[in-house]
Amino acid sequence: MAEQDFAIVERVFRRCVKTSAKVERLWTGARWTEGPAWFEALQSLVFSDIPNDRLLRFDATTGQAGVLRQGQERFTNGNTVDRQGRLVSCEHGTRQVTRTEPDGTITVLASRFEAKRLNSPNDVVVKSDGTIWFTDPSYGIDSDYEGLKADGELGGDYVFRLDPRDGTLRVVADDFVRPNGLAFSPDERTLYVADSGATAIDEGPHHLRAFDVRDDGSLGGGGVIAICEAGVYDGFRLDTEGRIWTSAADGVHCLAPDGTLLGKVLVPERVANLCFAGHRRNWLLVTATSSLYGVRLAVNGAKTY
Ligand code: MG
């Protein structure tokens, strides 16, 4: 059952949204938007337009977007904000994870694993202990469309954990076809990771997996909890109740912590990623193909990054 901009699958979803709310297109003009990261102090969203090799900034106080960084063959994809308020980015072009410092300089956090270049870091989250977790599928080296075509050196598409205190980079999962979006549960005891491998191989995975996060930073479990019924899951974030708000081809799907589909926010373009914004974290900002969309929800985003 659809009510305007929402599809209610389970009754509980009626308490997650105001069905009178509208999905608003806030800005358009990109080729493929990704990597939304909200800076509350600036009332601004930083996001990527990967094929145009640019980072954009949407200023919520004016409703205008402008170019933050462009044309350096970085082809930035996923972005997040670390616990010190700094921008952390995945770059296809440089095949690095970087941090933008308050003075504007760019620090390389990870570029190689055991002397081999990363593929093309895709999406990133920062745990409350400061460790940086990211996925490294080959999308950015498969062609020159959203990166620079090159051969992979690692022999696989992995999920990594970086400890920036000593620079230690570890593979925490190596059994993905194309690891993509990732996010922690509010208590950080579960790490969810999407596999969008269906984009690369016939009958490939288009699902979400849930891993147990051990105290030593390794992962256990990893079972599939949800299979995407519309395209693939790409980026996602969680609300304070542990529900997963994830990108899909027809909008944003809201899943229960066990993966049950609760409902959808219908978006007119294919969604790549999203984040919770605003002081109450109840404004869902969605990067969808050429545009940025926003919708006010009746839930609040978890304070995980
Ligand atoms: Mg992604």
pLDDT digits (tens, 9 = 90+) for 111-163: 999 999 999 999 999 999 999 999 999 999 999 999 999 999 999 999 999 99
Record the pTM.
0.97
- Going from the Cα of 181 to the center of ligand 1, the distance in angstroms, rounded, reads 5
Q: Residue 231: which of 189, 276, 195, 255 has the closest Cα? A: 195
- Going from the Cα of 79 to the center of ligand 1, the distance in angstroms, rounded, reads 10
pLDDT at 303: 86
Q: Based on the structure, what is the number of domains in the chain?
A: 1
- Going from the Cα of 197 to the center of ligand 1, the distance in angstroms, rounded, reads 12
Q: Is residue 82 part of a domain?
A: yes
- Going from the Cα of 182 to the center of ligand 1, the distance in angstroms, rounded, reads 9
Q: Is residue 300 part of a domain?
A: no
d(CA 183, CA 305): 7
Q: Is residue 281 part of a domain?
A: no
pLDDT at 4: 85
Q: What is the pLDDT along the chain (305 residues), one digit of tens a residue?
A: 556 899 999 999 999 999 999 999 999 999 999 999 999 999 999 999 999 999 999 999 999 999 999 999 999 999 999 999 999 999 999 999 999 999 999 999 999 999 999 999 999 999 999 999 999 999 999 999 999 999 999 999 999 999 999 999 999 999 999 999 999 999 999 999 999 999 999 999 999 999 999 999 999 999 999 999 999 999 999 999 999 999 999 999 999 999 999 999 999 999 999 999 999 999 999 999 999 999 999 999 998 76
d(CA 64, CA 272): 21
Beta carbons within 8 Å of 43's beta carbon, 6+ residues apart: 59, 60, 61
- Going from the Cα of 22 to the center of ligand 1, the distance in angstroms, rounded, reads 25
pLDDT at 3: 66
- Going from the Cα of 129 to the center of ligand 1, the distance in angstroms, rounded, reads 23
Q: Is residue 2 part of a domain?
A: no
- Going from the Cα of 300 to the center of ligand 1, the distance in angstroms, rounded, reads 22
Q: Is residue 123 part of a domain?
A: yes
DSSP letter assigned to residue 141: H
The token pair that represents 237 in the structure block: 């974030």
pLDDT at 61: 97
Q: Which domain holds residue 67?
A: 30-236
DSSP letter assigned to residue 20: T
Supply the CATH number for residue 173's domain: 2.120.10.30
- Going from the Cα of 145 to the center of ligand 1, the distance in angstroms, rounded, reads 15
Q: Is residue 228 part of a domain?
A: yes
Q: Is residue 117 part of a domain?
A: yes
